[in-house]
């Protein structure tokens, strides 16, 4: 099959698949019609700055709080965002708590990589590849001799002070991000599924130092990975067939809701 994919690209990402799974019509507006809605990106911009601070720590095993504050200040000034001091203090609290938290959660952890780029063949698909960036990979020894290791694929998320509720923690669509990253990680590097753990780590805004980091391990066995890969195939098939059904139950957080682009 050599016809161009409707998005004009030969890759799909988790974010694209997840948008499609929430509402196929929303996927069409965002990824085919490429209609951009102005949104408030303050949380996303904070998340990017915090990610950099975390990466910096993981690579060097030492914190550079000044670099984080400077980066955040630069963004806040350029975008004219309010209340820099509060946002900065949230980030500093999380970063300051990170070293001790990492050492207790992942004793003897070793850094493997950050922002690992994936661009891999999708099983049973000959035109489109899966593309993504894995936030962080570390490993921990399973014995004193350090001859056996467990690898962890981690995705950092920023969240409000309460973190994620039970529904979000068990939402298969949310968890599919890690199912897919693990599946493609194994496609590249091999390894046994049981030797590779997956987790979201929440950095909570406005929480005290002792409570600002939440560990959400995600059980990602072969069946979960297979199911997530099936979702990707379904998405590609449906988009090729130009089936763009609206999901009126997904409108609450949709940027196209109540705009000229979607009258429902
Ligand atoms: S407003 Fe609702 S139906 Fe329209 S694109 Fe968004 S989620 Fe889909």
Whether the per-residue pLDDT at 3 is higher than 90: the answer is no
262 Cα nearest atom in ligand 1: 4
The predicted-structure confidence for 47-86, as pLDDT tens digits, reads as follows 999 999 999 999 999 999 999 999 999 999 999 999 999 9
Q: Which residues sit with their C-beta closer than 6 Å to ligand 1?
A: 23, 25-26, 29, 246-248, 250-251, 254, 256-257, 262, 264
pLDDT score of 264: 58
* Other Cβ atoms within 10 Å of 248 Cβ, number: 11
Q: What is the pTM of this model?
A: 0.94
Pocket test for ligand 1, best of 250, 260, 263 (most atoms within 8 A of CB): 250
| pLDDT the model gives residue 40 | 82
Residue 147 pLDDT exceeds 70: yes
Nearest atom in ligand 1 to the alpha carbon of residue 26 is 5
151-192 per-position pLDDT tens digit: 999 999 999 999 999 999 999 999 999 999 999 999 999 999
Residue 218 reports pLDDT greater than 80:
yes
Mean pLDDT of the chain: 95
Question: Per-residue DSSP letters for the chain?
Answer: --SPPTTS-SEEEHHHHHHHHH-HHHHIIIIIS--------HHHHHHHHHHHHHHHHHHHSS--HHHHHHHHHHHHHHHT-S-HHHHHHHHHHHHHHHHHHHHHHSTT-EEEEEEEEEEEEPTT-SS-EEEEEEEEEEEEESSTTS-SEEEEEEEEEEE-TT---HHHHT-HHHHHHHHHHHHHHHHHH---GGGEEEEEEEEETT--GGGSEEEEEE---HHHHHHHHHHHHHHHHHHHTT-----GGG-TT-TTTTBTTB--
Q: What is the pLDDT of residue 59?
A: 95
Ligand 1 centroid – CA 32 distance (Å): 15
The domain limits of the chain are 11-239
**Res 256: pLDDT:** 93
The pLDDT > 70 percentage for the chain reads 99
Residue 119 confidence (pLDDT): 97
Q: What is the pLDDT of residue 2?
A: 60
Q: How far is the CA of 220 from the centre of ligand 1 (A)?
A: 30
Rg (CA), the chain: 20
- CA–centroid distance, 20 to ligand 1, in Å, is 11
Domain 11-239 has CATH 3.40.50.300: no
pLDDT of residue 1: 54
| The pLDDT value given to residue 263 | 77
């Amino acid at each position: 099959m050599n016809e161009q994919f409707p998005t004009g690209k030969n890759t799909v990402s988790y974010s694209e698949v997840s948008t499609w799974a929430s509402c196929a019509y929303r996927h069409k507006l965002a990824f085919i019609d490429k209609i951009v809605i102005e949104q408030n990106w303050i949380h996303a911009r904070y998340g990017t700055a915090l990610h950099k601070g975390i990466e910096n720590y993981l690579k060097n095993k030492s914190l550079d709080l000044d670099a984080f504050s400077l980066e955040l200040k630069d963004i806040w000034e350029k975008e004219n965002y309010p209340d820099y001091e509060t946002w900065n203090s949230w980030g500093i609290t999380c970063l300051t708590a990170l070293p001790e938290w990492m050492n207790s959660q992942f004793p003897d952890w070793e850094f493997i990589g950050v922002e690992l780029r994936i661009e891999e063949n999708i099983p049973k698909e000959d035109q489109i590849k899966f593309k993504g960036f894995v936030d962080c990979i570390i490993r921990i020894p399973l014995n004193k001799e350090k001859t056996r290791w467990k690898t962890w694929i981690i995705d950092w998320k920023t969240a409000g002070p309460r973190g994620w509720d039970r529904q979000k923690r068990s939402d298969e669509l949310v968890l599919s991000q890690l199912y897919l990253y693990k599946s493609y990680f194994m496609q590249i590097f091999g390894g046994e599924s049981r030797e590779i753990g997956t987790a979201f780590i929440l950095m909570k805004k406005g929480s005290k130092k002792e409570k600002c980091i939440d560990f959400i391990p995600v059980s990602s066995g072969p069946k979960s990975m297979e199911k997530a890969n099936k979702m990707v195939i379904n998405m590609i098939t449906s988009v090729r067939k130009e089936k763009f059904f609206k999901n009126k139950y997904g409108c609450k957080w949709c940027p196209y809701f109540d705009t000229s682009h979607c009258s429902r």
